[in-house]
Structure 1
C-alpha cells in the first residue's frame, strides 16, 4: 500500500478498508506516514466523511496505538467520565470530576487542550500554579486511589495516534468532522477502562456543530460507535449559541468553576446554567452505573455534595495531588467594561467574535506550540433575552493593554440589542 494512493482514494470519496486505515495510523506512529500526509488525510475525511465501519476502525486503530489504563485490584468502584464537544465557557469538567468522586465513583478523565475557539480543560487547569496534567500512568492511578478523580493529558502511551492527529487538526481547519471527533473522543475514553460515558454535544454559534441536525448526527455517531465498542454511552445535546456561564478564558473560568463548587453563586442565572448542566450530566452517569436509583435520587446526592462542601474538598485534594497550589481565586488581567449604548433586549451574542478575541489576546492558540496567557479573558454579563439599559455593562474585557481600543470596538459589536423582547434560550435540547 502507498499512502498517496490511500489519500487519493479518500479524497475521491472512497471507503477505506480496515487494513488501509490501520496502515495509515501505524505509519503515522512509526514515521513512515508524514505529518503533512496525515493532515491531508484529515482534510479528506473532513470533506468526504467516513462510514460507521471506517469510523469504528479508526477509533480502534488509535486506541491500539497505545496502552489501556488498568483497573484497581478490586474493580468494584465504577469508573465514569464525561466529554464535551467544546464551546465557549465550558468549565463543567472542573466541577464534574470532583463532584462525582464525592458520590462514590471514580473519574479517570483524560482531557484535551483548546481546539479552534474552544477552550481546553487542560489549559484551564494549568492556570493553577504547579498543576500537572502530564502524570504518568502510575502517578495518575495513585491520584485516583487517593482522591477519586484525576484530569490529565493523554500520555505518549495512551492513544498516541490521536494525540498527534489532535494537534494537527487544530491548525489545519479539520476540527469539525464527525468521524474524526468520534474517533478522537472514544479512543481516549476506551483507553480509560470506563463503565459509562456521557457526552455533552454542543450546538450553536460557539460549537463545532452549528445546527441541531449536525449535533444529532454527531450524537448518534458517538453513541453507536461507543456502544458497539462495549462502552455504554449516553448523550445530551446542549445550547452553545451563547457562552456557558459568564467566564471565557482560563484563570477566569477556573474561578467560576470554584464558585459553583462552593455553592456561592446559586442565585446568579448565568453561573446557574453551569451548575444545572453539570448536575444533568453527573446524574446520568450515577444512574447508568446504578449508584443512584433514579434521576431524582442522583440529583439529591449531587446537590448535597455541592452544598455541604464535599465536592470542593475533593477538588482541593485533586489539585494538591496533581501538584497544584490553590490559595484562592486566580489572578486575572485588569478589566475594561463594554456598556450598552441604548435600551433594549439582548438578541444575539456573537460567539465567534468573543472567542476569537480571547485567542487574539493570547488566551488560545493560533498555531501549534503557542504559549497560553491564563490571565486574559472576557466576562459575559448578559444573556440572550435579558432586558438592558443604556450604560449597563454588557461585557468585561480582561487584558494587559491599558487602552484596548481595538478589542473594545470588536466586542461592542458582539452584543446585538433589539428593541423588541427576545425569548431566552433553553440550556438543554435533548
Structure 2
C-alpha cells in the first residue's frame, strides 16, 4: 500500500520515483491525502535531490491532468502560446498575442499575477475598468474561437494540483527548483491544449534567473519536458538587466501597449523582444515558412492595424470598454502625483538595479508582498530612459506616478539609488541571448 511518507522517503533517499508514485502524490495534492506538512516535505526532497527528465515529464503530465484539459476541435489554425518567466516592465504578451492572432493563430493565454518584484499580466489587465480576467471556460473558448485570442488569469479548473503545490512552495523556500518550476509552468500551459509553445526565459538582475547558466538550465528543462509531453516548444533567452520598454506599473504598461499597437511609440528593445518571439511562434506553428515571411506578416499585422483591432475587440469581449484604444485613460485610474526624477550628474546611464525598481513599484502599492494584497493599478514609473543614454545633470531620467507626495519622494530616491552613471559610453546592450 502506498503511503505519503513512503514516497517522501524514496525521493529523500535519491531513488527514482515511478509513475504510480508521482500520480499518487499529485492525487494527494488535490484530495488532501497529502497534508501541508507532507507536501512541504515532498517539495523539499525534490528541491534537494532533483528529478530526472522522465520524472519531471511524469509530474508535469499528472499535474496537467489534475483538472480540466481544454481541447480545440474545429479551429482552422494552430493553437499557440507564449510564457515568460517574468520581469519588470514585461508587457510583451499583449502585443504578441494580438500579432499572432491577426496572422491566423489561436492564442488561449492563461496568465499569472505579480508576485515579489515581478509584474503580472492578469493584474495589468485588471487596470481596465470592467475587464474580467476570470470568465468561465465556455466564454474563454468562445472568445478564442471568434477573435483568435483571449488573455485571462489561471482558472480553478486548470491544473488545480499546481495551485496547491505552488502555494506551499512559496512558504517553504522551495520555489527555485528547476524541475518544480518546469512542472508548474507546463502543467498550466499544456492543460490549455496547445500545439506550440514559445518560452521567454528572462535573465539578469530583474529576473528569477540571474545568470545565463541558470537560464540555459531552465530553458533545457522546459523544452525537454514540453517536447516530451507532445507540445512543440522553443525557448528564447532575453535580457532583464533593465526595465523592458519605457514603463513599469500596471495601467502605465497598458497605456504603453496601446501606443505600441497604434504605432505611436515602439521602444526598440521591447519591439525586438516582441518580434523575435512572434517570429518563433509563427514559424513553429507553420503560419510562416521562414524568418522573412514571418517578418512581413508581423509588419503587416502592425501597420495595417489588424493586431490593434483584435486587441481592442478582446478587451471589450472580456467586459472592458469598446473604445480602449481611442481613450485608454477613460477606463483606467491615473495617480494623483506625477513627479519627474532628475539625473544627479552628467554622464551615461551605465546600469540599473531592475529588481529594486520592481520592488519600488510594489512599495508604491502596484504589486503584492502577500497573495491577498489589493493592487493600486495607477502607480509606477514611465518615460524610463534606457541604459547607454547620455544625460546632463537635472535631465529627466523617468517619472514616478504615486498617490501620496511622500511615496512619490521615496520612490524617486529609490529609483536614483538603483541607477549607475559613467563618464564614458557603455557597450551596446544585448537583448536576445
TM-score, normalisation: structure 2: 0.93
- Superposition pairs for residues 321-400 of structure 1, below 5 Å? 321-325=317-321, 326=324, 327-329=327-329, 330-333=332-335, 334-379=337-382, 381-400=384-403
Shift of 1:132: 1.1
**SS state at 1:236 partner:** strand
Moved over 6 A (4+): none
Could you tell me which residue of structure 1 aligns to residue 182 of structure 2?
182
Instruction: Tell me how far apart the structure 2 counterparts of residues 384 and 84 of structure 1 sit (CA, whole Å).
Output: 22
Map residues 307-318 of structure 1 onto 2, 5 A cutoff. 307-318=303-314
The yes-or-no answer on 1:29 pairing with 2:30 is yes
Q: Secondary structure of the equivalent of 1:303? A: helix
1:44: Cα distance to partner?
4.0
Q: Secondary structure at the match of 1:248?
A: coil
Is 2:46 the counterpart of 1:45?
A: yes
- How many Å separate the matches in 1 of 2:173 and 2:247? 26
Is 1:293 the counterpart of 2:289 in the alignment? yes
Q: Which residue of 2 aligns with 1:280?
A: 276
Shift of 1:4: 4.2
Partner SS for 2:209: coil
Name the residue aligned to 1:305: 301
| Cα distance in 2 for residues equivalent to 1:241 and 1:141 | 37
Shift of 1:153: 2.2
Q: How does 1:26-425 map to 2 (within 5 A)?
A: 26-73=27-74, 75-266=75-266, 271-325=267-321, 326=324, 327-329=327-329, 330-333=332-335, 334-379=337-382, 381-404=384-407, 405-425=409-429
Instruction: State the distance in 1 between where 2:210 and 2:193 align.
Output: 31
Distance 1:365 1:169 in 2: 17
Show CA shifts across 1:343-362 (max 9, x none).
11112101121111111222
Q: Which runs of 5+ in 1 are unaligned?
A: none
CA change 1:265–1:76 in 2 (3 A) is: same
Rounded Cα–Cα distance in structure 1 between residues aligned with 2:420 and 2:41: 39
CA distance in 2, matches of 1:401, 1:290: 51
Secondary structure at the aligned position of 1:298 is classed as helix
The worse-fitting range, judged by mean Cα deviation, of 412-421 and 199-208 is: 412-421
CA gap of 1:28–1:298, structure 2 versus 1, over 3 A, is: same
Return 158-167 or 308-317, whichever deviates more: 158-167
8 Å Cα contact 2:206/2:242 also seen in 1: yes
**127 and 288 in structure 1: CA distance in 2 versus 1, 3 angstrom threshold:** same
> Using the alignment, how far apart are the partners of 2:21 and 2:169 within structure 1?
20
Q: How many correspondences in the alignment?
A: 424
Deviation at residue 8 of structure 1 after TM alignment: 5.2
Residues in 2 aligned to 1:209 and 1:179: alpha-carbon distance in whole angstroms: 14
Q: Which runs of no fewer than 5 residues in structure 2 stay unpaired?
A: none
**Aligned with 1:237: secondary structure?**
strand
What are the superposed Cα offsets for residues 227-254 of structure 1, whole Å, 9 maximum, x if unpaired? Answer: 1111000111100111111111111111
> In the TM superposition, what whole-angstrom CA distance separates every residue of 1:146-189 from its partner, at most 9, and x where no partner exists?
21101122322211111233344445543332112211121122
Compute the RMSD of aligned alpha carbons.
Answer: 1.9
Question: Contact 1:394/1:415 (CA < 8 Å) preserved in 2?
Answer: no
Aligned residue for 1:174, secondary structure, equals coil
Partner SS state of residue 427, structure 2: coil
1:166 and 1:84 map into 2 onto residues whose CA distance is 17
Change (3 A) 1:200 1:159: same
2:248 & 2:179 partners in 1: Cα distance?
28
Task: Give distance in 2, aligned partners of 1:155 and 1:192.
Answer: 11
The structure-2 alpha-carbon separation of the partners of 1:6 and 1:115, relative to structure 1 and needing over 3 Å to count, comes to farther
TM-score with structure 1 setting the length: 0.93
Q: Supply the distance in 2 between the matched residues of 1:187 and 1:231 (Cα, whole angstroms).
A: 12
- Whole-angstrom CA distance in 1 between matches of 2:386 and 2:222: 30
